[in-house]
Chain A
Amino acid sequence: MDIVVCIKQVPASSNVKVDPETGVLIRDGANTKMNPYDLYALEAALTLRTREGGTVRVITMGPPAANDVLREALYMGADSGILISDRRLGGADVLATSYTLSSAIKTMGHVDLILCGKQTTDGDTAQVGAEMAEFLGLPQYSNVRSITPVNENVIQVVSELGSTVLTAKIKLPCLLCTDAEINTPRLPSYKLKKQIESGEEPLSQISLDFFEDKDPKHYGLAGSATAVERIFPPDISDDHAVISGTGKEAAAQVLDVLLQKKFL
């Protein structure tokens, strides 16, 4: 099974800071990591490769420093990585990002399965996977918590949809966005790191010029449908109430609060 995993470099801290003047996310180049949700997608891909054979390729979009996140994927066991890097791709919203990634995947030859994390920890939109599937004309499922191959052309997935669990058989190729419940991602390996460092890194870089659609108006800020008016960090509140008294009294007060808030 030939699998492509989409990964993204995000700020290492979960406390993303926003420039109050410009509303732009402050990205500290030295302090980044792989989007935690992508680790589950990568682990799912590596597990499938162990079982079914084939390849796992990772792809990311970003500045040259984003090669670090591809290397991390190699140290976890990915076969190769592709960086899409081009100034004309900058400022992309989810639509332009999805279009860019789908354009890049079209250049990658035979692909059975595309895996994405459920969302990123910096943008948090959870839309790129589904939009890519639209551009690629592929069936797609979100919140996938298990993937089981049925035969060479069909997989069975279990998808968590809030109060419903959906089990579906899907024809390959398809695109899946994995849930954090699907597995525990493996750790990057020192042994693989040494092996990769001692040979030629299986990393390559592509730009807009490699795509079938080379019109810069379809990418980056120009290709974005979203006009961002303002970005601001959410208010963080530590408002709380202290409930005291005997166990019985406190329980009655808790019940009152739950009823008031319509939780019960």
Chain B
Amino acid sequence: MYNKVTPADLAYLKSLIPESRIQVGDEILSDYAHDELSGTENYPEVLVFVTSTQEVSAILKYANEKHIPVTTRGAGTGLVGSSVAVHGGIMLCTSKMNHILELDEKNLTVTTEPGVLLMELAAYVEEKGFFYPPDPGEKTATIGGNISTNAGGMRAVRYGVTRDYVRGLTVVLPSGEVVEMGGKTVKNSSGYSLLNLMIGSEGTLGIITKAVLKIIPLPETSLSLLVPFPTMDEALDTVPKLAASPINPTAIEYFSRDVILFAEDYLSKKFPDTSSDAYILLTFDGAPGEVKANYEKAAAICMENGAIDAYFVDTPERKKSVWDARGAFLEAIKSSTTMMDECDVVVPRSRIADFIKYTHEIAADLKVRIPSFGHAGDGNLHIYICRDDYSSEEFEEILNEAFRRMYDRAAEYGGLVSGEHGIGYAKRDYLADCLGPAQISLMRGIKGAFDPNHILNPDKVFRT
């Protein structure tokens, strides 16, 4: 068991950090006791707003010696309880480490503190003619959080995920030691990639206090095609054909009419087209000629495969009318029900249609509403199980059964528990089932090597 924070511990923390950046007990707002979705809730005993690597180092060294758990929190936009202090202890909030430190135009890197928001970083580099491609839906997440969950997003089809853009990290280990992993180099074949272990480790191995991220030149132009299909089957069956053709899409998203209608209600704004049951949204970027050639080919493929039409989303106003709705899907579904939980499963692209059909079977069988949308281009689905009129107890039972069936089916298809939201607290048991004891045991070994006293975000990813 862990030690509680004592008055002596608090006095020590106050000797390290100005009191104005420390909150205790009732001073801590309820926001810091939960994240956006998982239902995991617990208050930290102390909340510290850190501002430097040195502060993080001093706190970790002390917490490690005193065996006090430490949870790192960015903007708290996670969906699986990763940033919830389930064992109390100290919460380090990185929101004040929100400075972009350098844009290196020769090496095409941007160096940033972890508390910078994704939308701030994206706007900063774009203003200077560069592009940070990872594009998770939650733009108010911090970069530190994005790295810690290996966040993906819509542009993964063409550009990959956060992992592909992390060149270097400054990491504070639980001992207080500060290590530099990777750097500005493009290649790295120098021993085990600790950098890649840190990415997606959800605050369980070390605390990221600085990141060197890869950027690329800003594409000249970008255009989307909104493609209506009579049925979801026809829409999803077209996706592998699009992926296999030389059209180089940036994103291939799918959504159904009912999800658009939730977004219309939520935003009080009409979507440009709601006449079809199923939609694919394709995005292209690059030089204008290349984009035109690619969208023409893509539209032709869609039409050959049963699409009703293909609509151009080409001006800032049109992009706003479509992407505002797409960006609001999660919140819109959330506001359509009393409570919900999410399955962020990822399956091979060829099995998306089968998997979605299976969720419809589960919905009918368990008599529960399961809307979904997601990244058809990379097989990552966002499936929401809605409580609606069920009692908490009834819903809990339905939820467990639905999750169990979905994760089992995903495993059968060669899929995995999480595509981009992480495991955190909520999905630990599903991960253990999916990966099996050998892999979980290796993960435990890695955890032990970084954090022998298990003070960093304990009980996350797998049971401690």
How many pairs, one residue from A and one from B, have CB atoms within 8 Å of each other in the complex?
46
B311: which of A14, A184, A189 is its contact (CB, 8 Å)? A189
A186-B273 CB under 8 A given contacts A12-B315, A36-B315: yes
Query: How many residues of chain B get a CB closer than 8 Å to chain A's CBs?
Result: 21
Decide if B273 touches A75 in the complex (CB within 8 Å): no
- B309 & A185 in contact (Cβ 8 Å cutoff): no
**A190 part of interface (Cβ distance < 8 Å):** yes
Chain A residues whose CB sits within 8 angstroms of the CB of B311 once the complex forms: 186-190
* A189 and B315 contact, Cβ closer than 8 Å, known pairs A184-B270, A184-B321: no
Residues of A within 8 A of B273 (CB): 186-187
Q: How many whole Å from A100's CB to the nearest CB in chain B?
A: 26
A39 contact from B225, B269, B317, Cβ within 8 A: B317
Which chain A residues lie closer than 8 Å to B313 at the CB level? 187
A156 at the interface (CB under 8 A from B): no
Chain A residues near B321: list those with CB within 8 A. 184-185
The residue in chain B whose Cβ has the minimal distance to the Cβ of A184 is: B270
Over the window 33-45 of chain A, the binary record of Cβ atoms lying under 8 Å from chain B Cβ atoms (1 yes, 0 no) is 1101001000000
For residue B323, CB closer than 8 A to chain A, the reply is: no
* B226 partner, pick from A33, A34, A36, A187, beta carbons under 8 A: A187
Asked if A80 CB lies within 8 Å of chain B CBs, one says no
Count of chain A residues near B, Cβ 8 A: 16
B303 interface neighbour in A184, A186, A188, A191, Cβ under 8 Å:
A191
From B309, B315, B318, B322, A191 is in contact (CB under 8 Å) with B309
A190-B312 contact, Cβ under 8 Å, with A183-B270, A184-B269, A184-B270:
yes
Residues of B within 8 A of A34 (CB): 315
Provided the pairs A183-B270, A184-B272, A191-B303 are in contact, do residues A36 and B309 lie with their beta carbons within 8 angstroms? Answer: no
B272's contact among A12, A33, A187, A191, by CB below 8 Å, is which? A187
Measured in the bound complex, the distance between the Cα atoms of B417 and A204 in whole Å is: 59
Query: Interface digits, A213-227 against B, CB 8 Å rule (1 contact, 0 not)?
Result: 000000000000000
Q: Mark A8-25, 1 if CB is under 8 A from B, else 0.
A: 000010100000000000
Q: How distant is A139 from chain B, measured CB to nearest CB, in Å?
A: 28
Within 8 A of B (CB), among A182-219: 183-191
A185 to B317, CA, bound (A): 10
CA distance A75 to B312 in the complex (A): 10
Interface residues of A in 148-197 (CB under 8 A from B): 183-191
Who on chain A is nearest to B317 by CB?
Answer: A36
Bound: A12/B315 CA distance, A? 8
Query: Known interface pairs A14-B316, A36-B315, A184-B321. Does A189 touch B272 (Cβ–Cβ under 8 Å)?
Result: no
* Interface mask (B379-407 → A, CB under 8 Å = 1, otherwise 0): 00000000000000000000000000000
Contact of B312 with A185 in the complex, beta carbons under 8 Å:
no
- Binary contact readout A56-93 vs B (1 if CB under 8 angstroms, 0 otherwise): 00000000000000000001000000000000000000
Nearest to B274 among chain A residues (CB) is A184
Which A-chain residue is minimally distant from B310 (CB atoms)? A190
B18 → chain A closest CB, angstroms: 14
Residues in A neighbouring B226, C-beta threshold 8 A:
187
Candidate in A34, A36, A187 with the most chain B CB atoms within 10 angstroms:
A187
Complex contact B270–A190 (CB within 8 A): no
* Cα distance, A36 to B319, chains bound together (Å): 12
Q: Given A12-B315, A36-B315, are A190 and B299 neighbors across the interface (CB < 8 Å)?
A: yes
Can you name 16 A-B residue pairings with CB atoms under 8 Å? A12-B315, A14-B316, A183-B270, A184-B272, A184-B321, A185-B318, A186-B272, A187-B226, A187-B318, A188-B311, A189-B309, A189-B310, A190-B225, A190-B299, A190-B312, A191-B309
- Beyond A75-B312, A186-B311, 10 additional pairs, beta carbon < 8 A: A34-B315, A183-B270, A184-B270, A185-B321, A187-B226, A187-B318, A189-B309, A190-B299, A190-B309, A191-B310
* Interface residues in chain B, defined as those with a beta carbon under 8 Å from any beta carbon in chain A: 225-226, 269-273, 299, 303, 309-318, 321-322
Q: Which 9 A-B pairs have the closest CB atoms?
A: A187-B311, A190-B310, A184-B270, A190-B299, A191-B309, A188-B312, A36-B317, A33-B315, A187-B272
